[in-house]
Amino acid sequence: MILVTLRSLLVAFAVAIGLLGTGCGGETEHEGLLVVTTVAPLRNIIEEVGGDRITVVALVPEGTNSHTFDPPPSAVSEIEKADLIIINGLNLELPTLELAEANASEDAPIVLLGNLAVSPDEYVFDFSFPEEDGNPNPHLWTAPHLAVEYAEIVRGELTKVDPDGTDYYAANADRFIARLWELDDAIAEATATIPEAHRKLITYHDSFPYFAPRYGLEIIGAIQPSDFSEPAPREVAELIQQIRDAGVPAIFGSEVFPSEVLETIAHEAGAVQVSTLSDDDLPGLPGDPENTLVGMMVENVRTMVTVLGGDASALDGFDTSSTWRPSQ
């Protein structure tokens, strides 16, 4: 399900312009290496490492359900020209992966970040991503320590394709990774202030299974079934009882997954409903200073900590801008 907002329409329009391009005959003009990716957090990670030696095209518009996104015909043109294709993997973007495998140049590597960052014994399965379906929860990038792994992989892959940029990519990656570790420390400090009884998360779409355990938070449930439908009445009743039994003060939704049933569950369970968390919709618009993975996670954690009764001041003044510096 997709929530159509003015912001998501503007983002989609911006992406469409990028795909259509400004060159002759409708061809897109790119500077440096062309890297094609999918969701906005991956685009930001790649940009932070690649800087001005690359151009990044993200095929999935922000504010769109990436799990059900089907790339448009215009994506083929970008894939055919790509020097490198980097996607999340873990079965998140299967239509895009199939399109890339069918249309990418033989010289363009296809990199699946999630498959490289964690081993199968580290996969997380849950209500939205049951093990019997074979699709592990793919949201690794919401955990800063795994975003570090992504950045390291991106640095290595860019270096393979563009050896002349080895030192440049290493310097960019080092700055970005340092910021991620600073974020990790700030999140740990903020989440530690949540009363112990409230350190529980129940979300509509489980986007934080790799994030939560690192900071002492327990994911006790996800509302959205694996087929992205609304939960059945029996499942709703079970969730309401689960929330009551756990004493969870709030349940968290997402602007990308609007759900009327979320409000019903919160009301019946006596919990607060918060529907502003994001897993791949960055603040602002592409090009804005705050349009970063770090910016998204600072907003998410501030919301979680505050609603669950903690003190989010450890995040006050945290620098969420890009760490990339253009070469002089």
Neighbours of 270 (CB within 10 A): 12
φ/ψ bin of 144: left (φ > 0), alpha (ψ from -120 to 50), beta (otherwise): alpha
Tokens 């800087």 map to which residue? 51
| CA pseudo-torsion sign 53, 65, 209, 215 | positive
**Residue 40 to residue 193: CA distance in whole angstroms:** 30
- What does the pLDDT profile of the chain (328 residues) look like in tens digits? 333 344 444 444 444 434 433 333 334 456 789 999 999 999 999 999 999 999 999 999 887 778 878 898 889 999 999 999 999 999 999 999 999 999 999 999 999 999 999 999 999 998 778 889 889 999 999 999 999 999 999 999 999 999 999 999 999 999 999 999 999 999 999 999 999 999 999 887 788 999 999 999 999 877 777 777 778 888 888 888 888 988 889 988 876 666 678 888 888 989 998 988 899 889 998 888 889 999 999 999 999 999 999 999 999 999 999 999 764 4
The set of residues, in sequence order, having a beta carbon less than 8 Å from that of 78 and lying 6+ positions away, is 19, 28, 34, 36, 57, 59
